[in-house]
């Protein structure tokens, strides 16, 4: 992927090959500005690659599609709609009763009961992110792209949100590609962690996290993998 800015070409992603299987939880880490978000935008169809291709189930990605939803770091929910309105945003093709059921299902799953008619400005940061995930899940996507979804939350809320996300992933088994800065987040969540190098980003390494859920943050294997990842990121930062 090459960007043209002010007449200069900037190579952001280069020679990047990654296969993701159905239902897999992938975390992408790497130095800031390396192109993690660009990668998500390419996979989401918001950008077209300069060279190469993104294929999903053998089908090339051309443009955004409700089958794969991108969740933003913050301010992704629509402030002019209530919780119900946000969750139902992508459901206008459904009948009224179906839509109501779908909304009720995700209100419950995201523990937003009692806030159905609340506007986002009256929700906490964690609730807004839960709402954004609920809005994404409601259209029944195959893939969720999460761009540092918990990056703007405080550490306790972030920790709780990871638990919620794992619970939902285990219940609904969507493919999740999750961009983060946070090493612990990656080790807690992912089946595999993809480490990107600095720009132009290549895949520095792919680390399989072979610990079953729920993962203990003090287990020896957890700490071992965490250190490995830290070392690799350290390498990536110095490259």
Partner 1 sequence: MNSLAKPAEWEKLFWPLLAAALLLALWHYSVVWTATKVFPSPLSVEKGLVQLIQKHVLWADIGDSLRRVALGFGLAAVVGIPLGLTLGWYPALNQVVNPVIQILRPISPIAWIPVAIIFFGVGDRPAVFLIFLSAFFPILVACVSGVANVPAIFRRAGRNFGLSRTQILARVVFPAALPQILIGLRIALGVAWLVVVAAEMIAVDSGLGYLVIDSRNSGKRYDLVVAAMLVIGLIGLTLDLGFRWLEKIRSVRWGFRHES
Evaluate whether 96 touches 76 at the Cβ level (below 8 Å): no
Q: Which of 23, 33, 52, 79 binds partner 1 (CB under 8 A)?
A: 79
Of 103 and 139, which CB lies nearer to partner 1 in the complex structure? 139
Decide the pairing of beta strands 68-71 and 59-60: unpaired
For the chain, give the number of residues. 239
Q: Which of 18, 50, 90, 198 binds partner 1 (CB under 8 A)?
A: 90
Q: Give the C-alpha distances (Å, rounded to integers) separating 199 from 13, 33, 35, 36, 239.
A: 7, 7, 7, 10, 9
CB of 68 to partner 1, least distance (A): 8
**Half-sphere exposure of residue 173: CA atoms within 13 angstroms, side-chain side:** 3
Q: Looking at 23-31, 69-77, 168-176, 181-189, which segment touches partner 1 (CB under 8 A)?
A: 69-77
Of 31 and 88, which CB lies nearer to partner 1 in the complex structure? 88
Angle at alpha carbon of residue 120, lines to 119 and 123, rounded to 5°:
105
Backbone angles phi, psi at 208, to 5 degrees: -85, 130
Backbone dihedral region of 23: left (phi > 0), alpha (psi from -120 to 50 degrees) or beta? left
| Footprint (CB under 8 A) of partner 1, residues 106-125 | 119-121
Of 75 and 173, which CB lies nearer to partner 1 in the complex structure? 75
Q: Which of 18, 20, 72, 215 binds partner 1 (CB under 8 A)?
A: 72
Q: Which residues contact 216 (CB under 8 A, 6 or more apart)?
A: 222
CB of 64 to partner 1, least distance (A): 5
Q: Looking at 11-19, 29-37, 67-75, 215-223, which segment touches partner 1 (CB under 8 A)?
A: 67-75
Using alpha carbons, select from 232, 238, 170, 184 the residue that is nearest to residue 25: 170
Q: Looking at 72-80, 106-114, 203-211, 229-237, which segment touches partner 1 (CB under 8 A)?
A: 72-80
Q: Which of 15, 23, 75, 216 binds partner 1 (CB under 8 A)?
A: 75
- Using CB under 8 A as the criterion, which residues of the chain lie in contact with partner 1 when the complex forms? 44, 46, 63-66, 69-70, 72, 75-76, 78-81, 89-90, 119-121, 139
């Amino acid at each position: 992927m090459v960007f043209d800015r002010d007449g200069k070409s900037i190579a952001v992603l280069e020679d990047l090959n990654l296969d993701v299987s159905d239902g897999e939880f992938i975390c992408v880490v790497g130095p800031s500005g390396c192109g993690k978000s660009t990668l998500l935008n390419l996979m989401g169809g918001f950008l077209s690659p300069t060279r190469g291709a993104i294929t999903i189930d053998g089908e090339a990605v051309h443009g955004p599609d409700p089958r794969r939803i991108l969740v933003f770091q913050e301010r992704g929910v629509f402030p002019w709609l209530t919780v119900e309105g946000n969750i139902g945003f992508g459901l206008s093709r459904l009948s009224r009763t179906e839509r109501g059921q779908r909304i009720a299902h995700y209100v419950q799953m995201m523990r937003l009961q009692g806030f159905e008619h609340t506007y986002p400005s009256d929700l906490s940061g964690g609730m807004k992110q839960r709402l954004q995930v609920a809005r994404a899940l409601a259209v029944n996507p195959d893939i969720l792209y999460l761009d540092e979804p918990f990056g703007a939350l405080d550490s306790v809320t972030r920790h709780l949100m990871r638990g919620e996300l794992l619970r939902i992933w285990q219940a609904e088994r969507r493919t999740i590609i999750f961009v983060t800065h946070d090493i612990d987040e990656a080790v807690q969540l992912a089946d595999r962690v993809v480490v990107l190098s600095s720009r132009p980003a290549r895949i520095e390494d792919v680390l399989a996290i072979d610990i079953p859920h729920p993962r203990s943050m003090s287990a020896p294997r957890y700490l071992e993998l965490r250190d490995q990842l830290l070392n690799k990121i350290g390498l990536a930062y110095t490259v």
